[in-house]
């Protein structure tokens, strides 16, 4: 049966379910350039407005996976398990998590990305380590998974090319927020990476992509359903992103904090989420090991050092330091009641820790240290935030972003749990 783009657009415009054949055809034709950008734009908007069933979304995802290579991890001798976060402020969890899970006996093929906007990128953080290399071949990935148990690297160009093309289109057509398109974008890359199991960290709050818990829950359900339909062992944690994770936001500062976690003296919230995600990953991988004592023993830190060395990095090298520091002092004595994750994330971005376009460079030394978190008592004049940059003219924009982003009052804010729920396939 022959297909054409207009019939597919009309079907979704009129709220009809797309057939498997229509989905397979339109993704393949768009990847090859047969379907024009303006036609796929119209289809994306129809999906944004009218949605997709779980079956449609699973098939859409599978078609995007089929548009490119599938990473073959059959030569890896350990059970493979991956993790994906929907992104947040101070979210350096991948850095301590991958070596921790590897130290417990699994293989973690963590193919990561770079930051855009107020959410940081894992590769940007790791590239602050002198000599560290993000780009690895499939053979190097497999060899490192067998020798070390963990790899954090850039995705190969051949994985899910349909997603790369469609993501760029969604970005300029106002369709980024469509849950079926978000879910299929995330899962097409993760399925193509070839791991047997996947744990998702779906964040909600001001610093997250999904601002409300209801929207985050809908996304988590969609992601888990796609994973199940495509044969993955999968679960999702709903986690809070209304305040920054840990005390470091940026690149080198987040690496330093990750090392603190691996050495047993990191912030409580980063350690809590790292251990919780590790437990879930190990459960899905069928490994009956408690990660908490493994983290406390230093084994995960040893695995971190081996992982960094395997990618030509020097785990003992000094991390970049900023040329300029500005300290934001507490304007009054009292309790810090608010520290808005989005405000801090935008401020770090403006200092040079992030990028507005994917082509932009980042400053490895840029970032923010949070000297107080909500619930802490502060005294007027004491340091609240420490801003790092190599471009001092960036302080003006960063301080503007922080306006209203922190508040000091008389009452202690109600403590909100970091992990809100777990959804399993």
Q: Is 371 a catalytic residue?
A: no
| DSSP code of residue 352 | I
| DSSP code of residue 69 | B
b vs e for 302-328, b when ≥16 Cβ sit within 10 Å of the residue's Cβ?
A: ebbbbbbebbebebeeebbebebebeb
Backbone CA torsion sign across 207, 209, 211, 214: negative
| DSSP code of residue 148 | T
Q: Is 185 a catalytic residue?
A: yes
- Give me the residue label for tokens 């498997």: 20
**Angle, CA of 166, 47 and 178, to the nearest 5°:** 70
Distance of CA 289 to the CA centre of its chain: 25
Active-site residue identified among 12, 59, 83, 84: 84
Helix, strand, coil share of the chain (percent; to 5): 45, 20, 40
Active-site residue identified among 92, 114, 170, 371: 170
Active-site residue identified among 12, 59, 125, 189: 189
Active-site residue identified among 184, 185, 235, 242: 185
Q: Among residues 306, 310, 331, which one has the least CA distance to residue 381?
A: 331
Dist CA 269 CA 288 (whole Å): 24
Residue 396: Cβ-neighbour burial (10 angstroms; 0-12, 13-18, 19+): exposed
Q: Is 189 a catalytic residue?
A: yes
Q: Distances from the Cα of 29 to the Cαs of 3, 126, 186, 307, in angstroms?
A: 10, 37, 21, 40
Active-site residue identified among 163, 201, 240, 340: 163
Q: Is 7 a catalytic residue?
A: no
Q: Is 163 a catalytic residue?
A: yes
Helix (H) or strand (E) holding 423: strand 419-424
Q: Among residues 9, 171, 140, which one has the least CA distance to residue 73?
A: 140
Question: Which residues participate in catalysis according to the annotation?
Answer: 84, 163, 170, 185, 189
């Amino acid at each position: 049966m022959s297909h054409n783009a207009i019939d597919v657009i009309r079907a979704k415009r009129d709220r009809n379910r797309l057939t498997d054949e229509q989905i397979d055809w339109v993704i393949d034709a768009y990847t090859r350039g047969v379907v024009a950008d303006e036609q796929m734009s119209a289809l994306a908007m129809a999906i944004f407005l009218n949605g997709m069933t779980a079956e449609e979304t699973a098939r859409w995802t599978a078609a995007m996976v089929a548009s490119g290579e599938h990473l073959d991890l059959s030569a890896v001798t350990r059970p493979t398990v991956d993790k994906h976060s929907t992104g947040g402020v101070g979210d350096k969890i991948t850095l301590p998590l991958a070596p921790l899970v590897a130290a417990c006996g699994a293989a973690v093929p963590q193919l990561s990305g770079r930051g855009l906007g107020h959410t940081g990128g894992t590769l940007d953080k790791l590239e602050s380590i002198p000599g560290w290399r993000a780009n690895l071949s499939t053979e190097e990935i497999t060899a490192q998974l067998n020798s070390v148990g963990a790899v954090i690297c850039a995705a190969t160009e051949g994985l899910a090319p349909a997603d790369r093309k469609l993501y760029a289109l969604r970005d300029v057509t106002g369709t980024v927020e469509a849950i079926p398109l978000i879910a299929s974008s995330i899962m097409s890359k993760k399925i193509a990476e070839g791991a047997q199991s996947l744990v998702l960290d779906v964040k909600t709050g001001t610093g997250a992509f999904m601002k409300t818990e209801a929207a985050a829950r809908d996304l988590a359900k969609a992601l888990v359903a796609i994973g199940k339909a495509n044969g993955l062992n999968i679960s999702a944690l709903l986690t809070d992103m209304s305040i920054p994770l840990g005390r470091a936001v940026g690149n080198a500062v987040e690496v330093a904090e990750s090392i603190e976690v691996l050495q047993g003296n990191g912030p409580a919230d980063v350690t809590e989420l790292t251990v919780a995600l590790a437990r879930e990953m190990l459960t899905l991988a069928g490994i009956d090991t408690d990660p908490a004592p493994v983290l406390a023993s230093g084994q995960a830190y040893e695995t971190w050092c081996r992982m960094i060395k395997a990618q030509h990095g020097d785990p003992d090298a000094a991390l970049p330091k900023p040329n300029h520091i500005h300290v934001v002092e507490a304007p009054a004595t009292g309790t810090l009641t608010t520290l808005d994750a989005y405000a801090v994330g935008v401020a770090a971005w403006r200092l040079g820790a992030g990028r507005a376009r994917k082509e932009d460079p980042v400053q490895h030394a840029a970032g923010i240290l949070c000297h107080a978190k909500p619930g802490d008592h502060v005294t007027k004049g004491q340091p609240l935030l420490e801003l790092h940059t190599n471009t001092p003219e960036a302080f003006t924009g960063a301080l503007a972003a922080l306006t209203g982003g922190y508040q000091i009052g008389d009452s202690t804010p109600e403590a909100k749990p970091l992990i809100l729920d777990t959804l399993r396939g």
